[in-house]
Amino acid sequence: MIEVKVTKKAQAIQIFNEALAQRAAGKFDSNKAFRKNVMGRFVDEIQVSNASAASMYNQVKVLAEASDPDLKLGRDPKVPAEPKVKVPRAKKVKDAVAPAVGATSEAVEEAAAVDPVAEEADAV
């Protein structure tokens, strides 16, 4: 009795071709969804790791694109992000600091009389 062994590559090609037929029927809305489905089936049905499934997908994709040049399974086009709106922020006002240990009362009163917010406005 001759035993015929089906290789993992042959199984991967069969799964990929089945998924291509589903893709042509409109089951997948993007190339990303197609790739996710095919790789998931590789992991479940062929019993390989995610890394092996990714490698198998890439190898089978190259074969498929070589046989059909119109087949485009690359990345989906990027969707432009919404422009960010900049919200102006109020300037921080520094809190009053406790006087130094050896400061005289005259120096403390003089420092308190200076308004830092008014000085910043004058500088601008």
- Distance CA(84)–CA(11), nearest Å, equals 47
Q: Which residues of the chain have pLDDT under 50?
A: none
Identify the pLDDT of residue 97: 64
Using a cut of 0.75, tell me whether the model's pTM lies above it. no
Residue 119 has which token pair?
């000085």
Instruction: Tell me the domain boundaries of the chain.
Output: 8-67
Question: Which pLDDT score, from 0 to 100, does residue 99 have?
Answer: 64
> What is d(CA 34, CA 23) in angstroms, rounded to the nearest whole number?
7
Q: Quote the pLDDT of residue 103.
A: 67
